[in-house]
A and B are shown apart, each in its own frame.
Chain A
C-alpha cells in the first residue's frame, strides 16, 4: 500500500490551507471576537473571487487582490449598516446580504456563472520559473500564499492590540462595559465586519487565481469550512496572545485540509465531500465539550463514590 500522504497531497493541503485560512481569520474577527455569526461569508467569498477574476482578466493580477478587498469592505459595510443602523438582527443581515450578493456576483462576472483565467497572467504564473531550482518549481505557489498569510497575520495581530483593536475586542466581550466607557459599539462592529469581509474576499481572489477559474457556487458552504478551521485552531492552541491565536487559526485551516485530503485518499467520492466537511465541523465543534466530559468520567472512575466504599466497609466488618 502506498503511503497515505504523498508529497503532492501535503503540498496542496498546505497551499489550500493557507488560502482558506484567510476566511478562517475573517470568522475569527466576526465570530470569535465580535460574537456575530456573519452569514454573508459565502457570498462575500464568491464576490472576492469574481471581482479578482475580472480585474485579473484585464491584466492586473496584483491590483485584483486589492480590488477584491475593496469589494469585501463594501459588502461588510452593508452587513454592518443593516444591523447597526437599520435594526436588522445580525444573522438576518448576513443572510440578506448573502442573497443579494448572488446577483451582484453574476453581474460582476458579466452575467455568466463562471469565468476562467487560463489565458491571462496570475500572481502564480508571474512567479513561475523565476529560478532554475526544482525545489522552487514545486513550492513557489505555497511560498506566495504563505507570504500573503504571514503579512495578513502580522498586520491582524498588530491591529488587534491597538486601541481600535482593543475596542473591537471589548465590544464582543462585554457590551455593558463598552457602553460605559465611551466606545461606540456600532462603529466598532462596522470596522470589524469590514475588516473580516476584506479578508474573506481576498481569500476568494487568491483562490480564483490559484485554480484559474471562478464559479458562482464557489463560496457555498464556505462559512462551515472556515468555522471548522477556526475551531480546530482554537482547540489546538487554546488560550494565549492574539498572535498565538492567529497562528492557531492558520494551523487549524491547514489541518482541516489534511483531513479532507485524507478523506479523499480513502476513496470517499467527491460528491460526499460536503457531508465529510459537515461531519468534520460537527466533530471539531463538539470536541472541546466531549473532552471535558471524558475528563469528568475519568475522574469519577478513578475516585469511586465515597458512599459505595463506606457501604462496603460496613458490610465487611
Chain B
C-alpha cells in the first residue's frame, strides 16, 4: 500500500541550523499493515509523517501510496486518501463550527463532483453522522448543533478519528494521538482506533512513546533515530519481544538509555 523509497530531507540546508531530518529512509507497508513507530524526540517520526502528508516535498526518494507516485502531489490532493491525527486534539477540528458541519467537511472528501460545492448537508447525511457519532458512546449524537470548541479534548480527538476514517483512507497516520488525553479517555480512544482499523482493514502508521502500545498494537514495530529506521521487527519475532527487550534494542541502536519518564513509567 505504502512504499517509501530512500527518502531524505534536510531542513535549513547550508546554514548553522542545518538538520538532516530524514536520511535515506525506506519503508514498505502491505495492505492492512499496522506499524507502530518509537523513537526519542527529534528522531524524525513526525517529519516522516509530514513527508507522507506533503507538508513539504522531500529532497530525494519516492513516496508511492496505493500504487500511485505522490512524491510531488500537493498536500490537499493527497489528503483525500490520507487520514492524519495529531497529538494536539485541537488541531483536527474547527472549533467555531458545529459537530455536524465538521463532519460534513470530512465527508466532502468522498465527493469528486464539483456540484458538491454548492450542496448543503442533507437530512440523509445528518442521519448517517448521528449514527456514527452514537458509536462513540459519548452522547455527541445529541449535540450535533453545538460548536466543537465546547467539547473536551478526548471528545474532540474521538470526533477527529471518526472524521479521518469517515471515508476509508488508504493510510491512517496517528501521531501520538492519545498522548495528550487522560488515561481513561486515552484507552477509550485507543480502543476505538483499534476497532475501526480492524473492521475496515485500514493500513496504519502510529507514533507512540508507550512501549507497551508499541508492541501490543498492530503487527509491526519500527524504531527511528536521527532520521534513520534503526530497528524493525514483525511476526513471530515481535511476539516474543518484551518491553525490556525493546528498551535494550533502543540502547544498542541509539547508544543511550531512554530518558523519557513517560516511556519508562508506562506499562
Contact = CB atoms under 8 A, between A and B. Distances in A.
Interface in A153-190: 161-164, 166-167, 169-170, 173-174, 176-185
B75 A163 contact: no
Interface in B101-122: 101-102, 104-106, 108-109, 116-121
Contacts of A185: 76
A297 to B, nearest CB: 26
B92 to A, nearest CB: 6
Query: Which of B90, B91, B116, B119 has the largest count of A CB atoms less than 10 A from its CB?
Result: B91
Interface residues of B, number: 35
Contacts of A166: 97, 101, 104-105, 108
B119 A163 contact: yes
B76 A162 contact: no
A179 B74 CA distance: 10
A177 B104 CA distance: 13
Nearest to B90: A174
Contacts of A163: 104-105, 108, 116-120
Contacts of A170: 94, 97, 102, 105
Given A163-B117, A166-B104, A180 B84 contact: yes
B178 interface: no
A181 B120 contact: no
Contact of B94 (A162, A169, A179): A169
A169 B97 contact: yes
Interface string B73-109: 0111101101010100011111111000110111011
B108 A182 contact: yes
Contacts of A180: 53, 79, 82, 84, 86, 91-92, 164
Interface of B: 53, 55, 74-77, 79-80, 82, 84, 86, 90-97, 101-102, 104-106, 108-109, 116-121, 147, 163-164
